[in-house]
Amino acid sequence: MKNPVPILATGLLSVAAVAQVVTENLKSGGPVVRSAEVPWGALNPARGDKGPRAGGLWNDRTKEESSGFLVRFKDGFESPPHIHNVTYRGVVIRGLVHNDDPDAAEMWMPPGSFWTQPAGEVHITSAKGEDVMAYIEIDSGPYLVLPKEKAFDKGERPVNVDPSNLVWLSASQAGWLEAPEGVKDEALPEMVFLWGEPETGSTSGSFIRLPKGFSGELVCGGKALRVVAVTGSLASIGSEEGEAKGLKPGEYFGLSGSESRVLQSGDDEGCVVYVRADGPYRVEPLKSSDQ
């Protein structure tokens, strides 16, 4: 990879000073969607209450545009074999999800897993656990559920990735910058490249892992960023109003242009977020001089 998302490691801010920095260094941020604000409805209206529920995070999956939304499954749900008219990507947020060919052996994906479902390919989706939830995104709608008899082959193949198979790159491993003196690599964010070509500045998707107690600024350098909390504790995101509210798994915020947000992971655990980027972006650890 050719320095696709540089992390500028220029000295870390002490956790004790985060509240002051979040208040003083905020820049305008994009919209935030909290759990209580998600508008839920039937994913497939033809199945009504028997099917999964869907809640929009950004754009509208029923229109001819890219979009991202949450899907909630009941424990034990199993769909009949079916296809979709468009390719989608998925990230498991809660519970266990199985998504594969109807004859495939079960592969239960836990939170933090990533998968893709090609348009036109027959598959089933199953769920196990209480209030199973996944994030789904498409590049162009509308998103439709169609019978298996309408299957077609676009030449794409599905991908299922368990968290244990993710390849995390540190700042130095990715060739961004060496950790500053006195700061270990594990104190800096890590990244997994999931899809797209981030080195060209085109649309791409990645996981970003922030270590516990990390404080830094996420800066949009392109058209837009779409950020969904996946696992762990994102203790605060600096809001436009100067407040520092956290982000729970399944919640969302967006940035555009040169906007940014100050992020802080929890003191007890780190966190993983999924980032869909229309162009470049960077994560900058806060400097001691910013106190």
* Torsion (CA) 168, 183, 233, 167 in degrees, nearest 10: 0
What count of residues does the chain have?
291
Instruction: Return the residue matching tokens 């320095």.
Output: 3
C-alpha 160/C-alpha 91 separation (Å) is 10
109 to each of 101, 115, 132, 140, 158, how far by Cα in Å?
15, 9, 11, 25, 14
Let me know if 35 is exposed, middle or buried by CB neighbors in 10 A (0-12, 13-18, 19+).
middle
pLDDT tens over the chain, length 291 residues:
333 333 333 333 333 333 333 333 333 345 899 999 999 999 988 777 778 999 999 999 999 999 999 999 999 999 999 999 999 999 999 999 999 999 999 999 999 999 999 999 999 999 999 999 999 999 999 999 999 999 999 999 999 999 999 999 876 665 554 566 666 777 888 989 999 987 677 899 999 999 999 888 888 888 999 999 999 989 888 855 555 688 999 999 999 988 999 999 988 889 999 999 998 888 878 764 443
Amino acid at 234: L
Amino acid at 45: P
User: CA 157, 228, 290 angle in degrees (round to 5)?
Assistant: 130
**Closest by CA position to 131, among listed 50, 67, 77:** 77
**Across-strand partners of 218?**
261, 283
For position 174, what pLDDT does the model report? 59
pTM: 0.86
C-alpha 43/C-alpha 102 separation (Å) is 20
For position 203, what pLDDT does the model report? 94
C-alpha 113/C-alpha 92 separation (Å) is 5
Q: What is the bridge-based pairing of β-strands 53-58 and 271-278?
A: unpaired
* DSSP category for residue 174: T
Instruction: Return the residue matching tokens 């935030």.
Output: 32
For position 1, what pLDDT does the model report? 35
Contact 237, 29 (CB under 8 A): yes
| 45: CB partners within 8 A, 6+ apart | none
**Closest by CA position to 114, among listed 84, 87, 135:** 135
